[in-house]
């Protein structure tokens, strides 16, 4: 009995140490988040505390700081008081928390890196795929994200490629105006509208196709509020449209063979 009691006592001590260590680690992980929130909400966050992924250049620090400022101003104060889900991998800390943006709760993943005794903000992301939850193999089922997020991901992948491999090289060789002109696709877009929406007059087909493309190809919320021979009112809820227009005197003119749409934004 004494031997059993000793074994039980040793086991209890070991278990208590494990629990205590986990508690310390959890508190330390939360400390990084609390210090970040305090720094951000006090307006003291600077690019000096931002170390982006190495694939980004130094200018991206200002971009990330701008994202954080938007989050600080738009999210509800109570959002920052919530305890985030914490996922730690070596010196990398991930904090998942929902913030209120435009009256909608949106989960975000804040990523930090620990260097020495200091933490640095690394990235902010609204799209994160929980493939870390895969545990049984073989499998043909993988965690998914919403259709809207997948639409955004497709656009981001496409435009990242265009910017890095088409736009920026053209800017360097021929200048910004030439690069922007190269990306205009109004002619081909209008051909698509006329051939895929052949039963409407061309000027109406252009607007109808615009709405259909945004709703079904790009999965962006869109509302056609008005359409007649003289006026069209379209409300887009997410700006992912390529340049199909030219701007003149503060208004946008959409050129079509059937005439010009004067677009007020």
Angle between helix 202-212 and helix 186-196 axes, rounded to 10 deg? 100
Two tokens at 40? 């951000």
Domain edges within the chain: 2-143, 146-183, 185-263
Kindly give, in sequence order, each residue whose CB lies less than 8 Å from that of residue 106, ignoring residues fewer than 6 positions away: 98, 99, 100, 126
CATH topology of domain 2-143: Nuclear Transport Factor 2; Chain: A, (3.10.450)
pLDDT band at 88 (very low <50, low <70, confident <90, very high): very high
The pLDDT score that the predictor gives to residue 238 is 56
| Antiparallel, parallel or unpaired: β 104-115 and 92-101 | antiparallel
What is the model's pLDDT at position 17?
37
How far apart are alpha carbons 265 and 262 in whole angstroms? 10
Query: Residues near 37 by Cβ (< 8 Å), separated by ≥ 6?
Result: 80
pTM of the model: 0.74
Contact 233, 226 (CB under 8 A): yes
pLDDT digits (tens, 9 = 90+) for 169-185: 999 999 999 999 999 88
**Highest-confidence segment of 3-7, 98-102, 111-115, 227-231:** 111-115
Averaged pLDDT score across all residues of the chain? 83
pLDDT of the residue at 3 = 52
**H helix intervals, the chain:** 2-41, 60-74, 77-81, 147-162, 168-174, 176-183, 186-196, 202-212
pLDDT in tens, 98-120: 999 777 899 999 999 999 999 99
Whole-number Å distance between alpha carbons of 145 and 81: 26
The pLDDT assigned to 261 comes to 54
Q: Is the pLDDT of residue 79 over 90?
A: yes
Place of tokens 């003289």: 230
Residue 73 pLDDT greater than 90, yes or no: yes
The per-residue pLDDT for 213 is 92
Residue 235 pLDDT grade (very low, low, confident, very high; cuts 50, 70, 90):
confident
Contact (Cβ atoms closer than 8 angstroms) between residue 50 and residue 36: no
Vertex 227: Cα angle to 221 and 230 (nearest 5): 140
Q: In this predicted model, what pLDDT tens digit does every residue of 11-62 receive, in sequence order?
A: 444 444 333 344 444 678 899 999 999 999 999 999 999 999 999 999 999 9
Residue 2: its pLDDT value, please? Answer: 53
């Amino acid at each position: 009995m004494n031997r059993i009691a000793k074994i039980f006592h040793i086991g209890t001590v070991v278990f208590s140490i494990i629990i205590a260590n986990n508690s310390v680690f959890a508190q330390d992980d939360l400390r990084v988040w609390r210090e970040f929130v305090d720094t951000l909400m006090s307006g003291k966050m600077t690019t000096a505390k931002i170390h982006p992924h190495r694939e980004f250049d130094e200018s991206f620090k200002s971009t990330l700081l701008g994202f954080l400022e938007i989050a600080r101003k738009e999210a509800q104060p109570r959002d920052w008081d919530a305890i985030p889900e914490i996922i730690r991998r070596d010196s990398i800390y991930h904090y998942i928390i929902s913030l209120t943006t435009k009256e909608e709760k949106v989960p975000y993943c804040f990523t930090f890196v620990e260097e020495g005794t200091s933490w640095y903000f690394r990235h902010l992301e609204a799209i994160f795929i929980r493939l870390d939850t895969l545990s049984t193999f073989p499998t043909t089922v993988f965690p998914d994200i919403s259709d809207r997020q997948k639409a955004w991901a497709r656009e981001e992948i496409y435009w990242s490629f265009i910017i890095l491999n088409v736009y920026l090289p053209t800017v360097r060789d021929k200048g910004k105006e030439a690069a922007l002109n190269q990306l205009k696709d109004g002619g081909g877009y209008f051909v698509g509208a006329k051939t895929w929406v052949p039963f409407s007059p061309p000027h109406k087909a252009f607007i109808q196709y615009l709405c259909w493309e945004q709703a079904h190809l790009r999965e962006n919320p869109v509302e056609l509020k008005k359409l007649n021979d003289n006026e069209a009112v379209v409300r887009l809820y997410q700006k992912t449209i390529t340049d199909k227009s030219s701007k003149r005197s503060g208004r946008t003119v959409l050129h079509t063979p059937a005439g010009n749409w004067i677009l007020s934004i």
